[in-house]
Structures are given as C-alpha cells and as structure tokens.
Structure 1
Amino acid sequence: MTDHCATTFEQLATELGFSCREAGGLAEVRNPFALENWTLPVLEFTIVLGAVLALVYAVMRFRRHGDPTNLVVWFGATAYLFIIEPPLYFPAAFGIDEHVDTMFAHNVFTVDFLWGRLPLYIVAIYPLMATLAFEIVRTLGVFRRYGVLIGAVCVGFVHHAFYEIFDHLGPQLRWWEWSTENPLNQPMFDSVPLPSVVVFAALWPMSLAFFVQRLVGRHVDKGQTFTGPQLVWRTVVIGVLGSLGTAVLPIPATVFGSGSTTLRGFLYAAELVVVTVVAVPILIRQWLRLRQDPNAPHHTNGFVRIYTVVYLSVMALLWVTALPDFFDAVDGSTSEGDPIGNLWYTAACFAVAILCGAAIFTVPNRKADETPIPSAGEHAVPQTA
C-alpha cells in the first residue's frame, strides 16, 4: 500500500528492518521464527494468550454470575483502540497529516494488520492490560468504598506501573520505534516520550475505567441487569468517551505547555504525580481494611491473580536478557544503535506491580460477589436503556 507509505513511517520501518512498501494487505502472517529477534514471538504469545484468557473469563463470569463488567472492560478497551490508533497510522487518510505526522512504527510480528501498522499483540494488549489494572482495583474494593472517580484514578496508577515495564523495554528490543523528531513526542524520557508515559500508560485507562464503572460496573454492584443491546451501546459509548477523556485529561500539558517543551514536560509529570498521590494511600488503606475484616464484601478474579504473575515473570525474563546490552550502551544507545529505557523507573514500576499482585493474593479468599446476580424478575432493580 505504497500510497500510505509516508516518509516518516518508511524511515522508521527501514530502521526496524522491514519495508513498509512490501508489508502486505489488511492481514499478514509470518513465520514466528523469522522475526527480528526471539523476544518478539515471546512477547506476542504472552500478550495474545492473556487477552484470549481474559475474554474467556469475562464470558464465563457473565454466563455464570450475570456480571458483564469484565466483558465491557475488554470490548471497551478494544473499541478505544480502533478509535485512537488508525488515525495515528494513516494521518493522510484521515486528513490530519498537516497536524499529525507519524509518531511511531511497530515492528512486524507473526500476525499483522493494516499494511504492517498494527500487530495482533497490540490489539490484544489494550484489553489485557485494562483487565489486569481494573480487576486489581476492583478486588481491593476501591470502587465500592470510594466511588467511580477515585477508583478510576487507582486503575490509571496500576495500569501505568504494569505498562511502563513494557514501554521502557520495547525500543531496545526493536518491538517498535518512536519518531523522536515529532514534537508530539516531546519531551523524551530516555527512550520513551513523556506523553506516552503519562497519557497512554495512566490517563487512558483512567478514562476507560471511569466510564466502565459509571455506565455498567456500579449498576452491577447494586444487582441491576442489562440486556444484550444495552451492553452493546454502552460499550460503544465507553470506547468513544474514553477516547475523548484521553484528549481532555492532558489539556494542562497540551494547551498550557504548547509553547515550551520544558513546561509541557513539567505539566505532564505533575499530572502523573497527582494520580500517584491519590492512588497510593487509597490502595494501601483498602488492602489493610480487607486484611483486617475478612467478612467485608469484595470481588475476586482468579484469572487476574494468575496472569499477573505470568506477565511479570515474562517481563522480568525479557528485561534480564536485555541487561547486558543495556549496561554496555553508550550515550543512551546500544551497540546496535537501539535506544535504552530508564532502568530505575522500570524497577520502581516492577515494585509497584509486584506489590499490587501480592495484594490481591493476600486479601481473604472469600468470593463474596461470585454469587449470581438476581434476575430482574426476582430482587434486582431492572436497568433501563
């Protein structure tokens, strides 16, 4: 699809080792053993498997207990992906190329869509990471006790920790490459644009979680039920509103910092600090409360407990194998010319993610809201469209 092979994307693709003019069709399948390096298929398998299992769990929970929240998180995150990503891949096709140049290019993986722009694992990582973060916060009872907004902030914080472990490793292992000359990617935080660290790691899952809980989750907690069409339109609306939230939440940085990269970076960082300051004491307090009161009603999710360990274990393995080249790097680049991330920041994110995983393992194993939700004809209050 050479008419969409923009100059910047072509340059990034060449640096990653493939030709955007030869990446073929709406979908393409490659030999996983012939990719850039062995870490690509390992990452791809881990993320895609996790997303599939998250969907299976969501369907089972809906069928057995009448709780559609996990389904809405999964499909709401996927809807968000297909609203946000295509314009970034083909700015000319969407008529925004005068304002938005190519920001990044993914490497080619086993399964790719949209002429080499969209690997299958990227489609999968949105619902997987959203599920892990949302369900950790839900398990700790934050939504029940503190409401929709505070719960959403905590989801953004947890998601940020899990995502940045991956985000600071990708450029070194050639999973993708950023366009460092693009002003929308400024300022850079080592190999990662600070806007990505804040917006895509913290603010978008915060926005998604807010609307999921507002439109579905809080009603489910009260025993209300939904018909299929009600869930469909709510999921679409969640994807749309989540996208708008991603544009609104970073306004302090994107608007007031538009004239200065330094000021923009400071405002982005300040938003992340606010999220952290709100989330950390709430998560700790809720964990202690559940530990002290085993009879307090709370939610459990066996899949999230297990796959949190799987995800962190795989990421730890990939990081360990990348460390020799990381420590041999000169001026922020490996001997192959690949940029390195921030190890100390990643270590802090690992610590937060491990503590979050430990928290959901150490709350009382009481499945208080695993019981079926009453039907509208019994004790539940019917939910209208």
Structure 2
Amino acid sequence: MSDLCTPTFADLASRLGFSCETAGGLVEFRNPFALENWTLPVLEITVIAGAVLTLIYAIVRLRRHNDPTNIALWFGAIAYLLIIEPPLYFPGAFGISEYVDTMFAHNVFTVDFLWGRLPLYIVAIYPMMATVAFEIVRMLGVFRRYGVLVGAVCVGFVHHAFYEIFDHLGPQLRWWEWTLDNPINLPFFASVPLPSVVVFAALWPMSLAFCVQLFVGRHVDEGRTFTGTQLLWRTIVIGVLASLGTAVLPMPATIGGALAGSTTVAGFIYAAELAVVTAVAVWALVNQWLRIRRDDDAARYTNPLILGYAAAYLVVMTVLWATSLPAYLGAVDGVTVNGDPVGSLWYTIGCLVIAGLCIGAARTSARPHQTPVLPTQTSTATT
C-alpha cells in the first residue's frame, strides 16, 4: 500500500527494520522466529493469551450468571480500538493529515493487520488490560461503594500501573517507535510521550469503565437483564462515548498548552490530571480494602482466574525488563549502544509495586472460608 506509505512512517519503519513499501496487506503472517528479537513473540503470546482468557471468562459470566458486564467491556474496548487506531495509522486517508502526522509505528509481529500498522497483540491488549483493571476494582467493591465515577477513576489508575510497565519497555526492545518531533507526542517522559502516559494509560480506560458501568454494570448489580439487541447497541455506544471521553478528558492540557504555546505547560497539566486520578484512586482503593477486610458480612465478588493471569503478566514483564537491564544500564543520554531509547526504570518499579499491591488487595479482600456472593439476577429487562 505504497500510496499510504508516508515519509514519516517510512522513516520509522526503516529504523525498526522493515519497509512499509512491502508490509503485507489487510492481514499478514510471519515466522515468529524471524522477528526483530525473541521478546516480540513472547509479548504476543502473553497478551493474546490474556485476551482469549478474558473473553472466555466474559462468555462464562454471561452464560452462567447472566452478567454481560464483561462482554460489554471486552467488545466495547474493541469498538474503541476500531474508532481510535485507524486514523492514527492513516491520517491522510481520514483527511486529517494537515493536523495529525504519524505519531508512531509498531514493529512487525507474527500477525499484522492494515499493511504492517496494527499487530494482533495490540488488538488483544485493549480488552485484556481493560478487563484486568476493571475486575480488580470490581473485586474490591469500589463501584458498589463509591459509584460509577470513582470506580472508573480507580480502573484508570490500576490500568495505568499495569500499562506503564509495558509502555516504558517497548521502545528499547523495538516493539514500536515514536515520532520524536511530533508536537502531539511532546513532552516526553524518558522514552514515552507524556500524553501517552496519561491519556492512553489512564484516561481512556477510565472513560471506557465509566461507560461500561453506566450502561451495563450498574443495571446488572440491580438484578436487571438485557436482550441481545439491548446489549449490542449499548456496547456500540460504549465504544463511541469512550472515544469521545478520550478527547474530552485531556482537553485541559490540550487547551492550556495551545493557549500558552508551550508543550511544557501542556505536560504540567497532563501530570496534574494524573495526580488527581492517583489521589482519588488511592484514597478509594485503600479505604475500600480496609472496609471490606473489617466487614465479614460484605458481599464479595471474586475472580481468581483473572488475578492469576494478572500475576503471570507481571512475572513476564519483570523477566523482559530483567533481560533488558544490561543494555539499559549501559545507555548514554537515554540511548543504548544499539540506538534504542530507554524508559524510566524507577517509574516502572513504582508501577510494578502498585500493580502487585492491587492484585494482593483483590486476592485478600475475599477470605478463603467465604463463598463469593454474586449479584442476584432477575428476568427484568432494561432498555
């Protein structure tokens, strides 16, 4: 698809080791042993396995407990992906090239879509990580105790912790490459654009969780059920509104940076938004964990399967980080001897600790002798 091979993408692809002139078609398969390095197939397996596991769990929840919340979350994340990602890959085809240049390029993986732009694992990571974060918050009972908005903020915070472990490692291992001079990416935090640290790691899952709980989850908690048609249109609306939320939530930083004519000002506002999310989430998560540990009669929702996967994900990411440490420690001015930018190790360690504490809190919130209490379902349909 050479007519869509813009100079910016061509340069990024060349630095990653492939040519966009010959990068497949709508779907392309490659030998996993012939990729850039061994970490790429490991990443694929880890993320895709998580997406399959969370989809199976969503189906089981729907069939056994008449709870479509996870189905709406899973496919709502896919709808969000289909709305957000293609314009970022092909700004010219969507008529926005005057305003948005190519922001990044993924490396080529075992399975790719859209002429080398969209690896299968990226499709998988949206519903996988959204489910992990949502389920941890739901297991802690935050939605039930504090409502839709605070629960959504907590999902954004937990998602941020899991995502940034991956986000700060990708550029060094050539999983993707950022456009360094694109104003939308500025300012950078180590090798990661600060807008990505805030918007794609925290604000978009917050927006998605808010919509899922608003349109589906809270009704399920009240014992209502949905027909297939009702669930379909709600899931589509969730994807659309979550996309709009991703544009609205960063507006203070976007407007502030534009008025000041400074990416530094925009970065400061982004950081302030993340600080607010963090403060609210830490307060709600800690207080709710302490409360349910004291209350033997509190209803419990447990999901050991997802917690087990979340722990396995952290183990894999820790191993990948450990193997990259020699090159990281040998980096000069944030660049390895191979020319790859490095992320922030201290921030990654902080996120790893937070993610581990969230798993531990969710696991210990339900005591072994207790039988989990699930929402009572009725045959009442809601429109």
The answer to whether the 8 A contact 1:158-1:356 is kept is: yes
The answer to whether the 8 A contact 1:168-1:342 is kept is: yes
Q: 1:174 maps to which residue? A: 174
Q: 2:372 maps to which residue? A: 368
| CA distances 1:120-153 after superposition (whole Å, capped 9, x unpaired) | 0000000000000001000000000100000000
| Paired letter, 2:75 | F
| Paired letter, 2:279 | V
| CA distances 1:220-256 after superposition (whole Å, capped 9, x unpaired) | 0000000001000000000000000000000000011
Q: 1:117 maps to which residue? A: 117
Distance 1:179 1:364 in 2: 45
Q: 2:334 maps to which residue? A: 332
Q: 1:195 maps to which residue? A: 195
| Paired letter, 1:240 | V
The answer to whether the 8 A contact 2:300-2:374 is kept is: no
After TM superposition, the runs of 4+ consecutive aligned structure 1 residues lying more than 6 A away are: none
Q: 1:70 maps to which residue? A: 70
Distance 1:101 1:216 in 2: 36
The answer to whether the 8 A contact 1:300-1:367 is kept is: no
The answer to whether the 8 A contact 2:299-2:374 is kept is: no
How far 1:357 moved relative to its partner?
0.8
The answer to whether the 8 A contact 1:187-1:265 is kept is: yes
The answer to whether the 8 A contact 1:134-1:209 is kept is: yes
Q: 1:301 maps to which residue? A: 303
Distance 1:255 1:273 in 2: 18
Q: 1:9 maps to which residue? A: 9
Distance 1:188 1:276 in 2: 20
TM-score (norm 2): 0.98
| CA distances 1:39-84 after superposition (whole Å, capped 9, x unpaired) | 0000000000000010001101110000010111100011100000
Distance 1:43 1:294 in 2: 40
| CA distances 1:268-320 after superposition (whole Å, capped 9, x unpaired) | 00000000010101101111111111320121112211111110000000000
Distance 2:37 2:315 in 1: 19
1:295 alignment partner, SS class: coil
| Paired letter, 1:57 | Y
1:344-355 superposed matches below 5 A: 344-355=346-357
TM-score (norm 1): 0.97
The answer to whether the 8 A contact 1:140-1:283 is kept is: yes
Distance 1:246 1:197 in 2: 13
| Paired letter, 2:316 | V
Worse-superposed segment, 205-214 or 286-295: 286-295
1:231 aligns with 2:231: yes
The answer to whether the 8 A contact 1:84-1:243 is kept is: yes
2:154 alignment partner, SS class: helix
1:199-278 superposed matches below 5 A: 199-258=199-258, 259-278=261-280
Q: 2:381 maps to which residue? A: 382
Distance 2:242 2:104 in 1: 22
1:257 alignment partner, SS class: helix
The answer to whether the 8 A contact 2:10-2:19 is kept is: yes
Note the residue ranges of structure 2 that are not aligned, 5 or more in a row: none
| Paired letter, 2:102 | T
* Matched-pair identity in %: 69
Distance 1:370 1:60 in 2: 14
Note the residue ranges of structure 1 that are not aligned, 5 or more in a row: none
Distance 1:150 1:46 in 2: 30
1:6-85 superposed matches below 5 A: 6-85=6-85
Distance 1:57 1:161 in 2: 22
Distance 1:263 1:315 in 2: 32
The answer to whether the 8 A contact 1:299-1:367 is kept is: no
Q: 2:314 maps to which residue? A: 312
Q: 2:155 maps to which residue? A: 155
Worse-superposed segment, 288-297 or 209-218: 288-297
2:21 alignment partner, SS class: coil
The answer to whether the 8 A contact 2:79-2:239 is kept is: yes
1:135-150 superposed matches below 5 A: 135-150=135-150
Distance 1:304 1:375 in 2: 26
| CA distances 1:149-179 after superposition (whole Å, capped 9, x unpaired) | 0000000000000000000000000000000
Q: 1:164 maps to which residue? A: 164
Distance 1:11 1:286 in 2: 49
The answer to whether the 8 A contact 2:139-2:362 is kept is: yes
Distance 1:369 1:260 in 2: 52
1:367–1:109 Cα change, 3 Å: farther
Distance 1:370 1:119 in 2: 37
The answer to whether the 8 A contact 2:152-2:209 is kept is: yes
The answer to whether the 8 A contact 2:366-2:372 is kept is: no
Distance 1:171 1:367 in 2: 44
How far 1:367 moved relative to its partner?
4.5
The answer to whether the 8 A contact 2:302-2:366 is kept is: no
How far 1:382 moved relative to its partner?
2.7
Distance 1:282 1:205 in 2: 17
